[in-house]
Amino acid sequence: MSEIQTWLLPGVPPQIPGLSLAYATRPANTVAGDYYDVFPRPGKTIADNRVVLAVADVAGKSIPAAMLMATFQASLKTLSTAQVALPELAANMNRYACSNSQGGLRFTTAFLAEYDPVRRTVDYINAGHNNPILRRSSGQIERLDVGGLPFGIMPEVKYETATVTLAPGDWLIIFTDGLVEAENARQDEYGEPRLLSAIGMNQATEPNEMLKRLMAEVDLFVGNTPQHDDVTCMLLKSE
């Protein structure tokens, strides 16, 4: 199962004009309920081409969560081929998730976004997920919190969308709750303040180096405490 899951997740980050990125996931068990992906979404014309950014967290752990993660990945790839706007894509994802959610018990929080390399914009929908952090080059912090309910709870949900424009030196940090809720022996959580501090100290680096330092810091904080949740993080830097 872990080998199959590895095939579902992206390998080397794609080349995206104006962006550099890095991502990683650490399952709490041999398989995870976390999902992340970056892939092109061609439009009707070259000017309409977008890049999909997705991070999701299926409720639960181990095999059941991993199976649902696989169906999420398949439905996102399939539904993204339709020429529909992001709110409709999210609504379609939600309806599909509701058909597999055991009456809302197996819901999925998700952050779905489309990056426009020409306009340098990110259109996004936050479906009940941890709010991604947009750290401007000035140090200003913005939270990407517009969207709606997690997928799989109510079939007829309308999703709101919002847009942010990325300037050179801006960082976008997308993560699952396993990162900020990682606990040490005293049951203290790593938390967003430490995450923000780590990003601020390493903002001059590239995403792959930032990711290594961030994961090393989480490891140092946690120590020998067993990991209780999947940890996923996607870092994007505007160039």
Q: What is the pLDDT of residue 15?
A: 87
Residue 152 domain flag: yes
Residue 46 domain flag: yes
Residue 195 domain flag: yes
Residue 96 domain flag: yes
Domain count, the chain: 1
Residue 16 domain flag: no
Residue 208 domain flag: yes
Q: What is the pLDDT of residue 104?
A: 56
Give me the sign of the Cα torsion angle 97, 127, 118, 172: negative
DSSP 3-state percent helix, strand, coil across the chain (nearest 5): 30, 30, 40
Q: What is the pLDDT of residue 12?
A: 78
pTM, to two decimals: 0.92
Six token digits for residue 15: 């080349």
CATH number of the domain enclosing 25: 3.60.40.10
Residue 109 domain flag: yes
Residue 190 domain flag: yes
Distance CA 182, CA 230 (A): 9
Q: What is the pLDDT of residue 154?
A: 93
For residue 169, the enclosing domain spans: 2-11+21-238
Residue 131 DSSP label:
P
Q: What is the mean pLDDT of each run of 10 residues along the chain (239 residues)?
A: 51 87 80 83 87 90 73 92 94 90 77 96 98 97 97 94 97 96 94 94 92 93 87 95
The pairing of beta strand 231-238 with beta strand 121-127: unpaired
User: In Å, how far are 47, 88, 111, 125, 185 from 161, measured between CA atoms?
Assistant: 20, 10, 11, 5, 40
Per-residue pLDDT reduced to its tens digit, 141-191: 999 999 999 999 999 999 999 999 999 999 999 999 999 999 999 999 999
